[in-house]
Structure 1
Amino acid sequence: MSSINSLASAVVRTLIVSWMPGPASTDDGPVVVSVTEYAAHSLRHLPGVAYNGMRMREGWYAMPGAVGLWLWSLPASGLSGSISVWTSREALQRFIGLPHHVDIMRRYGDRGDVRSTTWEADTFDRAGTLARAREWIGQ
Structure 2
Amino acid sequence: MEEPNIAARLLATPVIVPWMPGPGASTTGPVVVSVTEIRAAHRRDVPGVAARGCRMRMGWYGMSGAVGLWLWSLPAALRGGSISVWEDEQSLQRFIDLPRHVDIMNSYRMRGTVRADRWSAERFEPGAVLERARDWIVEVVPCAG
Contact kept? 1:34, 1:118, Cα under 8 Å: yes
Could you report, residue by residue, the CA deviation over 1:55-106 in whole angstroms, capped at 9, with x for unpaired residues? 0000000000000000000000000000000000000000000000000011
Q: Which residue number corresponds to residue 19 of structure 1?
A: 19
- Unaligned residue ranges in structure 1 (runs of 5+): none
Output one character per residue of 1:115-134: Cα deviation in whole Å (capped at 9) or x when no partner: 00100000000000000000
- Could you tell me how far apart the structure 2 residues matched to 1:51 and 1:37 are? 15
Show the counterpart of 1:104.
Answer: 104
CA–CA separation in structure 1 for the residues paired with 2:128 and 2:14:
16
Tell me whether 1:42 sits opposite 2:42 in the alignment.
yes
Q: CA RMSD in A?
A: 1.8
1:11 Cα deviation from its structure 2 partner: 4.1
Distance 2:25 2:73 in 1: 26
Q: Following the alignment from structure 2 to structure 1, what is the Cα–Cα distance between the partners of residues 71 and 78?
A: 14
Query: Do the aligned partners of 1:26 and 1:87 also contact (CA within 8 Å) in 2?
Result: no
| C-alpha spacing 1:118/1:8, structure 2 compared with 1 (3 Å) | closer
Shift, 1:43, TM fit: 1.1
Contact 1:96-1:102 within 8 A present in 2 as well:
yes
8 Å Cα contact 2:27/2:67 also seen in 1: no
Please tell me the residue identity of whatever aligns with 1:65.
G
TM-score normalised according to structure 2 size: 0.88
Which letter does structure 1 place at the counterpart of 2:96? I
Amino acid of the structure 1 residue aligned with 2:51: Y
Deviating above 3 A after TM superposition, structure 1's stretches of 4 or more consecutive aligned residues are 6-12
Identity %: 56
CA displacement at 1:25 relative to structure 2: 3.5
* Aligned counterparts, 1:1-139, within 5 A: 10-138=10-138
Structure 1 distance, partners of 2:94, 2:138, is 28
Give 1:19 shift: 0.2
Give the match's secondary structure for 2:25: coil
Contact kept in structure 2, 1:20 and 1:69, CA below 8 Å:
yes
